Amino acid sequence: MFQWQQYELGVCYYPEQWEESLWREDLRRMKDAGIGTVRVAEFCWVLFEPAEGEFHFDLFDRFLSLCQEEGMKVILGTPTATPPAWLTEAYPEVLNALPDKTLLRHGARRHYNYNSPVYQRFCSRIVEEMAKHFASHPAVIGWQIDNELNCETDEFHSEADDLAFREFLKKHYTTLEDLNRAWGTVVWSGVYTSWDQIFTPRPVLNAGHNPHYLLDYYRFISDSCISFAVMQAEILRKYLKKGDFITTNGLFGNVDNHALTEKALDVYTYDSYPDFALGLDRSPKTSTDLNDRKWSRNLIETRSVCPHFGIMEQQSGAGGWANRMEMPAPRPGQLTLWAMQSVAHGADFISFFRWRTAPYGTEIYWHGILDYDNRDNRKLREVKAFGNLLQKLTPVCGAEHVAAFALLKDYDNEWDAQADVWHKRISSGSEKEIFAASQLHHTPYDIVYLNDDTALSALSRYPVVFYPHPMIMTESRASLLTEYVKNGGTLVVGCRAGLKDANGKAVMMPQPGLLQPLTGTDVQDFTFVSPAEENDPAYPIFHDILTPMEGTAVLARYQTSYYAGEACLTEKKTGKGKTIHLGSAFSRDTVAKLFEHLVILEPFRNVVDAPKDVELLLREKGGKQYLFALNYLAQNQTLHLQKSVYSVFEEKELCGDVTLPPYGIAVYAL
């Protein structure tokens, strides 16, 4: 893996969109603002290959020379997210399609499919030509594969996808008999008697697809996406200069980002746009989801993929397309707040999107640092000041995050919840509430994705793990969890855990299935919370009614409906550890009570007493700890420092009440 050795600022730049006469001045103004890297070229296919097999790199040759002269480093994007019109018109089989096979056409972006051999051939060639031509250039420091893989859409329905899906399934199941059994196609006469009868999801009545088939379809999409990235990475590695890295800018649906990173990348980057939460289609005044602060959830995800990641696109201005997305401009301080939110969560490279707002195209309102008028402005001043703050944070670069607990996830359950609305309602509700409790009670967490190879050590770093609703539970994961608990860990699971096997089929066992030995509970009855009844908001959405087995303690009981008095929260010891079983989905109040019960609540409370609207994060490096405090509100927030700490930005010791201004941030060395 690649890791930045010090904080770096970057910016996304589109030399092809501007008069060449502007380039040098742009680079100099960037440098003046502390920006040392530009990400370029990710949408330039038609410039590089204006006709099939004709390659022209002179425009970027000139640009790279200038970068070299000006000391600017360059990340090059491969341009495969936007095939030229000549390609898609001549070879429409490269296009993605809707379920009814209507092709998605030239005119926007990401309209291709991963599995067309023709597209793969064209992509291999353009990547190889670019790599051959540019990889040895001294200004180049890294490569971005494609752009935002699986953004715009994460479903694919072309004929190439049908064929590839069959191959994917043959590899996994070998025989149709096994596939039919795995999917339970005996239902509704669904049995396949030839591989050719299988397609990516086509139009069916009431979208009533078999969910186990869908689960494999999502796995297939992930596999296709990763293979596409690997194909490019393998070409790039043939030409890559020593020290240069390969990345992609991600976190989109239907892709196993962990496997993608492991198989294709040196480092992972994320595109962070918290202003979406404040757009004109949202109600930030009444929202209960923490608005822009909830981008921290994405950043926790990102650092689960890659602890020392980069931000390839950090929002610097209002986002917007001509046809959708209306956002207010970031308020003074928000650019800095959001960039520091990324840094606090582990980003070592912050590349702003974008240097100057495009005066044309679909993204005409996706504002950059500079506005159309190209004058210095408050955003440029913020970028420069932010760079200065980063200088002061130098010792923190590469520090590890200190978490009070881990949230366990896995792609099987992630995708099962896409195919299964019962699963989705429960899981998405709980994830939102666990995050909210963590934030409002200053109890930070890491995310750990489980797969069949996950080592015990990945869990045993944490005294407590929440695995809210692992409906799909495999033998190997149940073993891992058992080992974890036996060794002293605390496992927290919620309703519907253990319901399903790896294909998303319910197991014919007393619930919570494979987890029953750990939970010591038996679920004999269960129900969605009825909209016809009053319910305690502490236990929302779904109720597994828990019958405690021998040795299991009841921590709380339902107070409503026909099961009032039955257990809803239990605790069972196993070895040195224990398992908490919550019969319902999670609410922020119940999570906070569990934090308290498990003695992980507010680990920094001996250092600082902070109001709910401030996010606290702790980073650790070389034995030193750094506490980040971020104020997401437009109002002052008062923190009470319980002991003397060193304010890294103010460069002095502080104690007692301190004030964070609107959108203000502080870092305290403890």
- Residues serving a catalytic function are 148, 313
- Token pair for residue 233? 């990475």
How many angstroms separate the CA atoms of 498 and 564, rounded?
A: 24
Closest to a copy of itself by CB, 430 or 443: 430
Closest to a copy of itself by CB, 31 or 378: 378
Closest to a copy of itself by CB, 92 or 398: 92
Q: What is the DSSP string of 430-496?
A: HHHHHHHHHHHTT--EEEEE--TT--HHHHHT-SEEEE----B--HHHHHHHHHHHHTT-EEEE-TT
The answer to whether the beta carbons of residues 345 and 400 sit under 8 Å apart is no
Residue closest to 168 by CA, chosen among 209, 122, 224: 224
Min dist CB 625 to a copy of itself, Å, is: 33
Min dist CB 633 to a copy of itself, Å, is: 9
Min dist CB 426 to a copy of itself, Å, is: 10
Cβ count near 91 (within 10 Å) = 16
Closest to a copy of itself by CB, 171 or 375: 375
Closest to a copy of itself by CB, 53 or 208: 208
For the chain, the maximum distance between any two Cα atoms, rounded to a whole number of angstroms, is: 79
Kindly provide the b/e burial profile for residues 603-620, where b requires at least 16 CB atoms within 10 angstroms of the residue's own CB.
Answer: bbeebbebeebbbbbbbe
Q: Three-class SS of residue 498?
A: coil
Min dist CB 258 to a copy of itself, Å, is: 26
Residue closest to 518 by CA, chosen among 590, 467, 588, 458: 467
In Å, how far are 153, 294, 351, 420, 662 from 150, measured between CA atoms? 6, 21, 21, 21, 36
Closest to a copy of itself by CB, 1 or 564: 564
The answer to whether the beta carbons of residues 611 and 664 sit under 8 Å apart is no
Closest to a copy of itself by CB, 211 or 307: 211
Min dist CB 600 to a copy of itself, Å, is: 32
Min dist CB 285 to a copy of itself, Å, is: 6
- Token pair for residue 585? 């989905």
**Is the bond preceding residue 219 a cis peptide, omega within 30 degrees?**
no
How many angstroms separate the CA atoms of 253 and 316, rounded?
A: 24
- Sole residue written with tokens 């043959």: 170
In Å, how far are 37, 42, 53, 72 from 75, measured between CA atoms? 7, 10, 24, 10
Min dist CB 96 to a copy of itself, Å, is: 8
Q: Which residues pair with 669 in a beta bridge?
A: 626, 646
Min dist CB 250 to a copy of itself, Å, is: 18
Closest to a copy of itself by CB, 176 or 600: 176
How many angstroms separate the CA atoms of 431 and 304, rounded?
A: 15
The answer to whether the beta carbons of residues 518 and 579 sit under 8 Å apart is yes
